[in-house]
């Protein structure tokens, strides 16, 4: 929790807010995958930590501690599976409702992440009652489940951006500005925003789904699920000892992501410091972007085009200027009078050099939501990043405006949440928000 | 077979293989020999006389034998004229001779393979051709070695011709729109877009023009550009449809435009498409082979895009997406057609055959929904099953198209 000057600690964005725009545009451009490749769609891999007995998938016995200075699921080595959920509060919900929900969620989260059943488990005292725990994760154990909770801006300022529905407006950090509207967003209101988010990551999808399902059930009457997303195949790695994963375009991402071991960089770029109220110090901001890939179009593009778009080789993931995957791209290199790495290549635009040194911690997942009515794959990247200030994400995203990758992607969902610091024993999530 | 109010009416008969296309185009005064080694099939053959006037294009014979074919085009009209030999899709330009002054005679010489062609003149060198007539070449196939420069020149000529047709159609459309004849403007709207949609990847090379001509509102808004062009007018012409669409609730652009605003908007669109015409007519303007083949692929990609024609997002208020869809396919076909002989020379006959077959099936399927002449059905009446069938056929066409650049450029 250093208090150095993070390049990303700006005063937020222009405040236009997420403006869902259903209709698209003809021009094939759209805003880019913030950070795939170069700056690294990096993130976090699980292999390193999973080595000892954790194994993958069902039967994993490893658990990740729920309590700590920071919430789990941020620098925790990325598990393979995601169920991300966004909730909105029911109409007329009060401050007490919000507090009781966070209390109940804290209790359940602590049980779930231990691999224990929720409440009294699958066998209620009275068999005429439905079981407290829905039961589908029975026997699967913890599976490295992490639950990461975030608070939407509307909790502080209401739907109108001006009210104070829960009496916490005065505690909203200055940096918590809404994301602006980005060029070529094609956002769906039904996959954007939300008052509360929960990121559930685990080795096994059943474990992650079970967690969200039970938290949604617990929320009934106070909050309800508005949208959620399943993800598979982490698109980020946490250590150079493990292979960098690939996105659905078949390219390695995250070569230059912030790694868990980089304590100083985490303090500088990820963890909120003394610039924020106490409840937020040690927390971070979570940005989620659902990025549709036009898979069919991509698959028909030549290897040359694909590599030009990313600025990296497909097989090795090496910069087009040579070396291995981890070699520094040589942005000045020329081939026959033209830049070897295209001026609009993703690796160039997402690189910290192009963003005033800004780095963000990526933790995205691939997704496939079946297919659409036209037989096109509903596939893409559920991008998640953590940063000390939302302005850092904005900066990177804006610099991706000319990205060649934009021809093959559309941003269809978006959200921003403040992730409070970690929960200490005896506390509930974000308890500091409600103190005297 | 003249075209009336359409940019070029689309014929939907099943397509025979297009003949080989290398042309010796006589451009201006200097005859440029662009083909490679060509057997001198008929050195003494007489030139076929063509008489061009301001309203007609009369040809001495409608049939000849393959080999070197020369047309002697005499301009008996009052306007500067040009003469085209078109492929059997009536779009591909096999050869052209332009800048024929009144009273002058110029020659066009092509190496013609057996097949069906069309001849056409363009008095004033703008707008649709006149006197379009079928022309048949019989006999044996000729052996030619296609050359990149000739192929590129041929395609650039096609792009130029499309913009020359585009400008007067847009003017006609704008005249109706600015004068308040909404019914006529609505009829002309999809037709005025056809030429543009056929060559859009080329137009997009002029980065500032495409946003002005063809951006949709979200694109213009997000980029901070004034919302102008075809789709701004679409929003006004189909105002009720736009207003009923909650996406733009409370948007100031939803106010119906005044006659003055209509005139200003219309003038700008005319100016923008005229600038496009002038830019592609610049002698410096050229393309690469890969531009042509990637453009052919890009046109198909645009149809399938999440904001393209297949999902009905392109003309979201007018629902005229099938016109654009067809024009994109036609434009893709012409680009493919233009590089065909290069692919064949690289032993890619199988790919060429497959593309011919898939283009034919795609256009036949589209023809079930109408034509430029008779009108296409409103896209909002096309069922999901039908859209899915269109998508499947488009995919079947797009897949072999992804191999065209390699077949042509790496040879």
**Interface predicted TM-score of the whole assembly (ipTM), two decimals:** 0.72
CB atoms B402 and A25 under 8 Å = no
In this prediction, residue B337 carries a pLDDT of 95
Main-chain dihedrals φ then ψ at residue B179, nearest 5 degrees: -85, 0
Locate A360 and state its tokens. 């963000």
* Exposure class string for A189-219: b at 16+ Cβ within 10 A, else e: eebbbbbbbbbbbbbbbbbbbbbbbbbbebb
Segment A9-16 mean pLDDT: 35
* Chain A interface includes B210 (CB < 8 A): yes
A355 CB-near residues (< 8 Å, 6+ apart): A39, A395, A396, A399
Out of A24, A305, A373, closest to residue B218 by CB: A24
In this prediction, residue B282 carries a pLDDT of 92
Helix or strand (DSSP H, E) at B64 = strand B63-65
In this prediction, residue B249 carries a pLDDT of 59
* Chain A interface includes B215 (CB < 8 A): yes
Segment A399-421 mean pLDDT: 95
Out of A182, A292, A302, closest to residue B306 by CB: A292
Contacts of A27 in chain B (CB under 8 A): 204, 210-211, 215, 219
Q: How far apart are CA A411 and CA B235, in angstroms?
A: 24
CB atoms A22 and B247 under 8 Å = yes
CB atoms B204 and A27 under 8 Å = yes
Q: How far apart are CA B60 and CA B77, in angstroms?
A: 17
CB atoms A302 and B405 under 8 Å = yes
Out of A146-155, A199-208, B38-47, B210-219, least confident range: B38-47
Query: B301 to chain A nearest CA, in Å?
Result: 6
pLDDT in tens, B18-52: 333 333 333 332 223 333 334 444 444 689 999 99
Query: A193 to chain B nearest CA, in Å?
Result: 18
pLDDT in tens, A366-377: 999 999 889 999
The fraction of chain A above a pLDDT of 70, given in percent, is 84
Q: How far apart are CA B206 and CA A77, in angstroms?
A: 47
Helix, strand and coil percent figures for chain A, each rounded to 5? 25, 20, 60
Locate A70 and state its tokens. 């920071």
Contacts of B313 in chain A (CB under 8 A): 23-24
In this prediction, residue A61 carries a pLDDT of 55
CB atoms B307 and A376 under 8 Å = no
Please say if the pLDDT value at position A12 is more than 80: no
Compute CA B270 distance to the chain's CA centroid, rounded to the nearest angstrom: 18
pLDDT in tens, A39-85: 333 333 333 333 333 333 334 458 999 999 999 999 998 899 999 99
Please say if the pLDDT value at position A152 is more than 50: yes
CB atoms B307 and A375 under 8 Å = no
Please say if the pLDDT value at position A310 is more than 80: yes
CB atoms A26 and B217 under 8 Å = no
In this prediction, residue B198 carries a pLDDT of 96
CB atoms A186 and B405 under 8 Å = no
Out of A25, A297, A302, closest to residue B307 by CB: A25
Compute CA A372 distance to the chain's CA centroid, rounded to the nearest angstrom: 24
Residue in B with minimal Cα distance to A188: B247
Look at residue A305 and give its three-state secondary structure.
helix
Contacts of A292 in chain B (CB under 8 A): 306
Locate A211 and state its tokens. 């967690």
Contacts of B314 in chain A (CB under 8 A): 26
Those residues of chain B that have pLDDT short of 50 are 1-44, 411
Residue in B with minimal Cα distance to A182: B222
Of residues A436 and A27, which shows the higher confidence score? Answer: A436
B35 CB-near residues (< 8 Å, 6+ apart): B22, B23, B24, B111, B144, B145, B146, B147, B150
In this prediction, residue B250 carries a pLDDT of 63
In this prediction, residue B248 carries a pLDDT of 64
Question: What is the sign, positive or negative, of the torsion defined by CA atoms of A315, A319, A322, A324?
Answer: negative
Catalogue the E-assigned strands of B322-385.
370-371, 375-376
How is residue B192 annotated by DSSP? H
The B residues from 242 to 261 touching A (CB cutoff 8 Å) are 247
Q: How far apart are CA A293 and CA A159, in angstroms?
A: 31
């Amino acid at each position: 929790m250093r208090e150095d000057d993070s390049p990303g600690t700006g005063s937020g964005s222009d405040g236009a807010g997420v403006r869902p725009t259903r209709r698209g545009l003809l021009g094939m451009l759209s805003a880019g995958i913030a950070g795939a490749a170069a700056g690294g769609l990096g993130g976090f891999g699980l292999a390193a930590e999973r080595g000892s007995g954790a194994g993958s998938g069902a039967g994993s016995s490893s658990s990740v501690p729920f309590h700590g200075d920071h919430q789990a699921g941020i620098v925790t080595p990325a598990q393979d599976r995601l169920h991300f959920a966004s909730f909105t509060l029911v109409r007329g919900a009060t401050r007490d409702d919000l507090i009781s929900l966070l209390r109940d969620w804290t209790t359940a989260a602590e049980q779930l992440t231990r691999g224990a059943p929720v409440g009294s488990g699958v066998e209620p005292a009275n068999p005429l009652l439905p079981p407290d725990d829905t039961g589908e994760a029975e026997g699967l154990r913890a599976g490295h489940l992490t639950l990461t909770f975030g608070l939407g801006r509307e909790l502080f300022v209401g739907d109108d951006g001006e009210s104070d529905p829960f009496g916490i407006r005065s505690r909203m950090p200055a940096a918590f500005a809404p994301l602006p509207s980005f060029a070529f967003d094609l956002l769906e209101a039904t996959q954007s925003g939300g008052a509360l988010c929960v990121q559930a990551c685990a080795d096994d999808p059943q474990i992650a789904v079970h967690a969200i399902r039970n938290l949604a059930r617990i929320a009934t009457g106070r909050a309800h699920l508005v949208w959620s997303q399943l993800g598979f195949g982490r698109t980020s790695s946490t250590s150079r000892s493990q292979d960098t994963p690939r996105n659905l375009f078949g390219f390695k991402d995250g070569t230059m992501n912030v790694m868990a071991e980089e304590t100083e960089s985490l303090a500088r770029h990820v963890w909120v410091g003394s610039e924020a109220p106490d409840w937020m110090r040690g927390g971070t901001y979570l940005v989620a972007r659902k990025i549709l890939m036009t898979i069919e179009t991509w698959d028909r593009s030549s290897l040359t085009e694909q590599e030009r778009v990313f600025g990296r080789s497909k097989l090795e993931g090496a910069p087009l200027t040579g070396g291995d995957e981890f070699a520094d791209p040589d942005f000045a290199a020329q081939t026959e009078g033209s830049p070897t790495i295209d001026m609009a290549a993703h690796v160039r635009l997402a690189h910290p050099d192009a963003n005033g040194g800004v780095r963000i911690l990526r933790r995205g997942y691939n997704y496939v939501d079946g297919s659409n009515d036209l037989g096109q794959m509903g596939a893409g990247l559920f991008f998640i990043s953590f940063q000390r200030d939302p302005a850092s994400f904005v900066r990177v995203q804006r610099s991706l405006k000319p990205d060649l990758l934009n021809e093959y992607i559309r941003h269809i969902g978006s959200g921003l949440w403040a992730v409070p610091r970690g929960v200490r024993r005896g506390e509930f999530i974000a308890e500091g928000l409600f103190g005297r | 077979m003249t075209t009336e109010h359409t940019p070029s009416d689309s014929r939907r008969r099943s397509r025979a293989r297009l003949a080989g296309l290398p042309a010796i185009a006589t451009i201006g005064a200097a005859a440029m020999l662009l083909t490679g080694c060509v057997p001198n099939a008929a050195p003494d053959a007489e030139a076929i006389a063509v008489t061009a006037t301001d309203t007609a294009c009369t040809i001495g014979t409608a049939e000849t034998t393959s080999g070197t074919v020369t047309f002697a085009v005499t301009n008996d009209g009052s306007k500067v004229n040009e003469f085209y030999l078109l492929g059997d899709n009536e779009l591909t330009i096999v050869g052209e001779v332009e800048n024929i002054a009144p009273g002058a005679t110029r020659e066009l010489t092509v190496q013609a393979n057996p097949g069906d062609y069309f001849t056409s003149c363009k008095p004033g060198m703008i707008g649709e051709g006149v006197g379009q007539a079928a022309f048949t070449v019989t006999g044996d196939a000729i052996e030619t070695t296609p050359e990149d420069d000739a192929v590129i020149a041929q395609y650039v000529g096609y792009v130029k011709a499309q913009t020359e047709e585009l400008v007067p159609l847009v003017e006609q459309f704008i005249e109706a729109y600015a004068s308040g004849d909404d019914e006529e403007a609505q009829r002309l709207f999809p037709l005025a877009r056809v030429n543009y949609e056929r060559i859009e990847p080329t137009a997009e090379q002029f980065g500032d023009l495409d946003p002005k001509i063809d951006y949709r509102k979200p694109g213009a808004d997000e980029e901070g550009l004034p919302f102008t062009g075809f789709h701004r007018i679409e929003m006004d012409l189909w105002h009720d449809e736009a207003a009923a669409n909650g996406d733009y609730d409370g948007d100031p652009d939803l106010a119906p435009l005044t006659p003055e605003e209509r005139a200003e908007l219309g003038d700008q669109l005319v100016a923008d498409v005229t600038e496009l015409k002038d830019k592609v007519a610049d002698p410096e303007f050229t393309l690469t082979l890969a531009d042509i083949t990637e453009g052919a692929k890009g046109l198909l990609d645009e149809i399938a895009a999440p904001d393209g024609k297949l999902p009905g997002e392109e003309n979201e208020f007018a629902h005229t997406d099938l016109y654009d869809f067809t024009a994109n396919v036609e434009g893709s076909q012409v680009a493919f057609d233009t590089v065909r002989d290069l692919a064949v020379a690289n032993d890619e006959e199988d790919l060429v055959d497959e593309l011919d077959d898939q283009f034919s099936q795609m256009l036949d399927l589209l023809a079930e929904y109408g034509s430029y002449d008779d009108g296409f059905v409103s896209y909002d009446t096309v069922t999901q099953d039908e859209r899915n069938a269109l998508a499947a056929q488009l995919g079947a066409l797009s897949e072999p198209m992804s191999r065209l650049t390699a077949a042509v450029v790496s040879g």
